[in-house]
Structure 1
Amino acid sequence: MRGFVAGALGLALLGGCVSGDGGSGFGDRASALPPSLAYRLTQSLTTEVGPRLAGTPREAAARDWAVRTLKDLKFGRVAVEPFTIKGWAREREEAFIVSHGDQALAVTALGGSISTPKAGITAPIAFVASYDDLLLAPPDAYAGKIVFINDRMKAARDGSGYGVAVRKRSRGAIEAAKRGALAVAIRSVGTDNTRFPHTGNMNYDAAVKRIPAAAVSNADADQLERLHAMGVPMRLKLVLKTRAIADAPSGNVVADIVGVEKPDEIVLLAAHLDSWDLGTGAVDDATGVAIVVAAALKAAGPEMKPKRTIRVVLYGAEEVGVHGGDAYAKAHAGEIANHVLATEADFGTGRVWRFASKALEADLPFFDSVAAGLRDLGVERGDNKSGGGADIAALAKKGVPIVGLSQDGTTYFDYHHTANDTLDKVDAAALEQNVEVYARVARAFANR
């Protein structure tokens, strides 16, 4: 690991990949180019640590990796800020259409789901076309049944299809239980047509009976849809075994390149260190980790002497409730007013195409000038209504200025929260464009 970092650092300070003809390397996929620091970091985290489920020893291994890496990259202050969460882990997940030859479905438990009984739950399927249709159903409409919610997610550059589609994952178990369901299964919240089911966090309501919750791959959801269209009754067997982990350890890794003129003023670059456990968390969010680390170094320059402190925060336990974001805001409440900017990378490696902000009217001319400096990279100016990312939302609510850098999410949800989220999905050239954009933004605010 230390040998990897030493070689990578030089590439970071040279500004990333450079093609053989002297080009920037920001064109098509750069598989023939030497690996940049950002790509090497992504490869290292996904290979040496792998899946990083919050509250588990693998997330702890990721924190150790981050501390070691950031120290080797000469960040001035590196620390772990621990907190605890209610952890969760999956152990067994199976589903079969028992009414039609025991056809096996590719299925995964949703994060936080309770277990089924040991023998599973076998019951008729109540096929519900959408989450909105579920809400229209009267009490006890699905008594004794397994509800299947069939919303399809639509791909979009800005990821806007996610908000509508994720409702069934977040609240499907609550609303199905209110209507008497024994369990809930959903069409995966994703835009692929593979047999990789998408996991993700779900919620319970203390006032409503808890029922098991699972996601079916989109290809298998199509199979259920075809059977439903035939008008034939379906019965499903669902077996889930999960376990809760009380007081599971997590934590944020905070690293500073200390400013030489205004060290108490902070430009914060954020990503989350944890991932779901099915894949290796490459696009969600090892690439984000790599982007902000490499961008911070590039923004600081070879002398590592920015005017203001550039802080990288690698948040823990984002996937299971954004606990790291809340913990950081609480731990740093006394210096929140010193944060001159926060921005986050958590949307894969699609090229950055839009610069949005949340700033005071008096500061907008400066924000506009920073955005103008990104036009050559294909970045357009967005509005002044950015909420930032999930982990910096708590800072945004407290008035910290925000830059939201929109990455192209057209294919992001093909892999999001699946076993297919692996290193081969990373576009090396687009990764470098991200680093350059984040570095220019960080440099502008750090040296303003």
Structure 2
Amino acid sequence: MTDTYARLVNHGLGRDLARKLGLPQPADLRRYRPGQPLIDGPVLVRGSGPGADRIAAALLSWGLDVRRHAVPKERLGGIVLVLDALEAPGDLEQPVLAAAPSLRDLAPGGRVVTVSRVPGGTPATAAARQGVDGLLRSLAKELRAGATGNGIVLAEDVSPTAPSALGALRFFLSGRSAFVDGQFIRVSSAEGRLPDDADAPLAGKVAVVTGAARGIGAAIARTLHRDGATVVAVDVPAAGDHLAEVANGIHGTALQLDITRDDAGQRIIDHAVHRHGRLDVVVHNAGITRDKLLVNMDQSRWGSVINVNIAAQLRINEALLASEHFRSEPRIVSVASTSGIAGNRGQTNYAASKGGVMGMVRATAPLLAQHGGSINAVAPGFIETEMTARIPFATREIARRLNSLQQGGLPGDVAEAISFLAGDSAGGISGEVLRVCGQNLVGA
């Protein structure tokens, strides 16, 4: 769906009028295209410990133009602030204030990424590390022109250059993270490996996507295919024509299936193995809404949402965990929602189901770890889809602007995050929830 307002206030007379009136002017976001440079312009790496040196060396090995000290008025593509050696709150001052003037030189669509560690150790160390959370989230709200700020949080024994730490850094620096802002990814282990081809990180994988006939699901299927995966597109029989169109367009296969069936998990496994010889990735995207104030909620609305959005995922995951065909570093990615974090009026059933998805993800992570696998969730905010297009105009406009990027995201933004979490470079990331919401300003 086209954001007419954004187009109007960024060109000609509309742009001049918006500036005079102080109206929001959503920037054109820097989104990923295969073959494009990872980032536009030099990357400044600040930090005094060995972690900063190692990250700078890794970025140099990617062919990036790396700076260790700022050059006045040089336009920067990104700033990486390495804070992995904090021991007390006072340790924040020097690296943060040293990097601060360079924010003026950040290019449109630029990136700021912090690298820190999980709060722990002494009270002073925990305070300093937790302080990075507030620092980064506040900074992200100060950035302009489509620039974003995000953070990587390392477990105590994980190196700043562990595969998943570098994978997360590449994701945050790239156009793949265009609508991810003010968020953190926790790297809990040294598992994972970087792909040989950064533009085909899913090469050789077989991935299943539920709810793939339209909207976000179709975008996920297309993005996984673009990134090298063979895709099984799953949706209900009623969506068969749209499903076939998506599957044919990406040279995948279509499976017409009601995921609430007791045997849905086994049918998915059988189809993937019979048609493609393996199963590596399952993306739980299928979901429904049946909105109503709780005082007016009936059993049908409540039960259908819970059954599709979370109960079906639990049953399918049971089949996956029991299958010998889902053993080689498997990946599960579920689509949650910011409604499950912050709540939403009239969506108690939907929010409960999406909160349930996040709880399921955290509890399932240890079960997959024994096979080198991972499970994570992506929580979209306001995304431009057929569903949001039906929201009344005034409500829709307010929802679009209530994030740091002052616009709605695209289905492809959700798909990019899912593709990252489905890849080998995210092997050390599990049990996490990554919000794709432009840093929503309400509730969470």
TM-score normalised by length of structure 1: 0.28
- Report which structure shows greater RCO (CA 8 Å, sep ≥6): 1
Structure with the higher fraction of residues in helix conformation? 2
TM-score scaled by length of structure 2? 0.28
Larger strand proportion of the pair: 1
**Structure of greater Rg:** 1
